[in-house]
Amino acid sequence: MAVDTTTASLEDRVKGELEKIRQMIQLDGGDIEFMGMRDATVQVRLKGACAGCPGAQMTLKMGVERRLKQVCPEISGVESI
């Protein structure tokens, strides 16, 4: 289902994009869960294989954060909580 960015809230747009990202992360045995937003920072929880992976922070910053900023330029960052 496509999200209309003109009427959807920033949180809804982030959740929609995270769902797409989640499917890719699940292919590697991990998972990502939207936990909320603080100001313009998206808060997520990494689970499964991603939780203990040494490359998780790189995935989070270079993959998830980069993609979210492309779709939602208002996002300032992504952090794992």
Residue 44 and residue 33 in contact, taking contact as beta carbons nearer than 8 Å: yes
Short-list 77, 51, 74, CA closest to 64? 77
Q: What is the DSSP letter of 73?
A: T
The type of residue at 68 is: L
Residue 46 and residue 32 in contact, taking contact as beta carbons nearer than 8 Å: yes
**Segments of the chain scoring below 50 in pLDDT:** 1, 3-6
* Tokens 């496509």, residue located: 2
pTM summary value: 0.80
Give residue 58's pLDDT. 82
The third-level CATH classification (topology) of the domain covering 10-80 is GMP Synthetase; Chain A, domain 3 (3.30.300)
Domain ranges of the chain: 10-80
Residue 42 and residue 68 in contact, taking contact as beta carbons nearer than 8 Å: yes
Give residue 7's pLDDT. 52
